[in-house]
Structure 1
Amino acid sequence: MSEPSHTAGRDAAPARTAFAGHDEHADVAALVVTHNSASHLDALIRSLRREAAGQSIRLVIVDNSSKDDTIAIAQRHADAMTVITGANLGYAGGVNRAMAAAGEADSYLVLNPDLTLQPGCVAALRDRRRRSGAGIVVPAIMDAEGAQTLCLRNEPSLAAALADVALGARRRPSWIPSETVCAPAEYASARQADWATGAAMLIDSAVAEAVGTWDERFFLYSEETDFCRRARERGFTIWYEPAARVHHAAGGSGSSLELEKLLAVNRVRYARKHMSRLRAALFRGLVALNALARGYDRTQRAVLRTVADERSWRQLPAASRLTRQP
C-alpha cells in the first residue's frame, strides 16, 4: 500500500505571499478538500495567497480521488501540502485527513474548493475570534452574482421541520420556526448562531482538540451541523462575521438525485444521533411528509421512497475504501 503524495517547498510567488511550511508557525492552517475541483482550485489558492500578507497561512489540500486535473493543479503550488487519499472519503473524512496533516496552528480554516476569499477575509475572521472568544467563526457567503446567501442555521427541531412541511423552503418571518436564518437583518452585523453551512469555517485550535474528528458517518451534509453541536456542547460559541466575505461558485459537490436523497437521509441520521428515539422517529416522519407534500416533483418522490425504505440507505453515496493511507 503506497503512501500519499506530499509536496512541500516554495513556488515562484513573492515571499510575502508564500504559504508557511510544515515546520514554521502558522496563524492559520487552511484545509481544502477537493473532488474534481480543477475548474475552481487555482482561483481559491490565488485568493489565499493574498491573505498570506501579514499573517502566516499553511495550505493543506486533500484530494478525494479526483478524475480531472485537480491533483496536477494542486501540485503546481509547491509550497502547499497535497495529500492524495486514493479514495473518496467524503467531506468529513477529507477534513479529518487535512487536519491530521496540517500540524499545529492557532486555528484551522475549512474551505470548499469552489470559493474565493475577498481581501481581508481571514484577518476579519481572526479578529472576530479574538474579540468574541468564539470557538468557530464563519463569514458572509456571496453567490456567483454577488448576492448574499442565507448561510446561518438554527439547530434542527421538530417545530422547524413541521414548518417546512407547511411552507417549504420559502423565507418566513422570524416568529415561524425555521432551520435557516431567513431575516436579512440577522446578516447585517456580527452575531452568534447555532451553526452555519460548512463552506467556510474558522475553527480555533482549542475547539479542534476538544471536539475531535468530524463524524465520517456523514459522508456529505450534516457533518458541519454535528461538529458545531459538539462544539457548543463543550462550551464554545459559533459567531458570524459579516466583514469577512467569500464568494461561492456553488456546485463544488455536484448536484444529483443521489445527493438529494443523501441530504434527507443524513438529516434523519443526525436526529437519531442527537434526539431521543421518539423525537428522532417523529423527525423522520416529518422529513418524509415534507417530500410527500411536494410529490408533484419527481425528485421529491424519489426522496420520499428512500427516507421510507431504510434498506435503500446502503446504496447512497458513502466513503469508498482507502487504497492509500493518509
Structure 2
Amino acid sequence: MDCAVVVVTYESAQFLPRLLDSLPAAAGGRTYSVVVVDNASTDRVRDVVRGRSCVRFVQSDRNLGYSGGINLAARDLPDCRWVLVLNPDLTLGPGAISAMIETALRTGAAAVVPRIVDGDGQTSFSLRREPTLRRSVGEALLGDHVPGRPGWASEIVRGPAVYGQERTVDWATGAAMLVSRSVFDHVGPWDTRYFLYSEETDFCRRIRAAGGRIRYTPTAVVSHSGGGSGTSPALVALCALNRVRYAHKWHGGGVASAAWGVAVVHALLRITRPGERASLRVLTSARARRLLPGASTAAGGRT
C-alpha cells in the first residue's frame, strides 16, 4: 500500500464526510487506507465512517489530544510507504496525495506539506521558520504589520509569491503532512506533552535532527475550513504556553524564561482580544494552567 491516512477527530462529525469523500480523487491512483481516531467525541462520528470499507475507526475513551490520537493510530497502521496526517476539517484537491508522494520520491524529502487555502481559495500562510527568541520578538512587536521583514524577525513565512514555488522549510502548520513511514517510525511517537499546538513544530524538528528534510509543494492543494479545532480563548492560551514549553524542551530553562517574557509582551500588546487575555492568565497563573485542555499530560516549560 502506498499511504496510510491518519485523521484525529474531536466533535468533527460535520466535517469528516467532506474529507473522506475527497480522498479518492486526491489519491490519483495511489493506494491508501484510512485510520480515524476519535478523541471521545459526543457527536456520533462513528456513524459517519460506518459502511466505508477503507476506513478503520478507533475510539479513544478520553481526549488524548492531537499527538495522542496520532500515536494511537500508529499502533494500527497497515504496511505502507507513507503516512499522511490530516485534520478532519480539510478537503483535499484532486491529485493532492499523489502530488505529495511524487514530491517525496523526486526530492528524497522525509516529509512533504501541501499548499493550504481557505474557504475562499486564498493561500494560507502555513509555512514556518524555526522558533527563535528574535523571531518571537518580531512576531510580538510587528505581527502582520511589516510582512516583508527579514526572516530572522519573522517565524511566519509571508507573501503569496513565496507559496508559488516548491521549497524546503523548517516546519509547517500540522493540518496536512505526508511523512515517510520509515522516518515516521524512526523519529518516534509525537510528544503528548503539547496536547494541541507545537506538536508539529517538535515533530518536524526531530525529523530535521535525524537528517531529514521537510519539503513544501504548491502542486498539492488542500482546503482548510478551520472549524475542526476552533479558536477559543483557551486554545489560543494553550498555543502561547506550548511555545514556552517548546523552548524549554529544546533550549533549557533560561531560554524558556525569556520566551515566557516575550509571550507575556505579545499578550499585553493585544490585551483587547479574549484569547490574549486568556494567554496572559495562563502564562502567569498555575491555577489557570491546570484548567487548560490536556493539563494532566503536559509537562515542561514554566509550571
**Normalization by structure 2: what TM-score?**
0.93
CA distance, structure 2, for counterparts of residue 111 and residue 320 of structure 1: 25
Please list, as runs of the form range in 1=range in 2, the aligned pairs for 1:142-153 lying within 5 A after superposition: 142-153=117-128
**Aligned residue in 2 for 1:3:** none
Separation (CA, whole Å) in 1 of partners of 2:201 and 2:146: 20
Which of 252, 264, 271 is residue 295 of structure 1 equivalent to?
Answer: 271
- 2:251 aligned residue: 275
Question: How much has 1:276 moved relative to structure 2?
Answer: 3.0
- In structure 1, the residue matched to 2:293 is 317
| Aligned residue-pair number | 296
Structure 1 residues 170, 64: closer, same or farther in 2, change over 3 A?
farther
Alignment of 1:77 with 2:60, yes or no, is no
Partner of 1:257: 233
- The percentage of counterpart residues that share the same residue type is 43
Output the CA distance in 1 between the equivalents of 2:30 and 2:140. Answer: 47
Q: Deviations over 1:239-272 (max 9, x none)?
A: 0000000001112012211111111111111111
**Counterpart AA for 1:89:** L
Aligned equivalents of 1:47, 1:184: Cα separation in 2: 25
Question: Is 1:44 the equivalent of 2:19?
Answer: yes
CA deviations on 1:26-85 (whole Å, 9 max, x unpaired) are 100000011111111111111112234521101111111111131111123133100011
Aligned residue runs from structure 1 range 67-146, under 5 A = 67-146=42-121
Q: Is the 8 A contact 1:114 1:250 kept in 2?
A: yes
RMSD: 1.6
State the 1:165 CA deviation: 2.3
Change (3 A) 1:171 1:44: farther
Distance change (3 Å), C-alpha of 1:319 and 1:29? farther
Aligned pair partner of 1:241 in 203, 217, 241 = 217
Q: Distance in 2 between matches of 1:160 and 1:249?
A: 28
List runs of 5+ in structure 2 lacking aligned partners.
Answer: 298-303
Query: What secondary structure sits across from 2:154 in the alignment?
Result: coil
Deviation at 1:171, TM superposition (A): 5.1
**Counterpart Cα distance in 2 of 1:218 and 1:143:** 25
| Counterpart residue identity of residue 318, structure 1 | G
User: What amino acid does structure 1 have at the position aligned with 2:18?
Assistant: A
C-alpha separation in 1, matches of 2:291 and 2:232 = 14
Query: Paired residue for 1:306, among 282, 285, 292?
Result: 282
Q: For 2:192, what is the secondary structure of its paired residue?
A: coil
8 Å contact kept, 2:25–2:93? no
Q: Which of 155, 161, 165 is the matching residue for 2:140?
A: 165
Amino acid of the residue matched to residue 215 of structure 1?
A: D
Matched, 1:204 2:180: yes
Give the superposition deviation at 1:319: 7.1
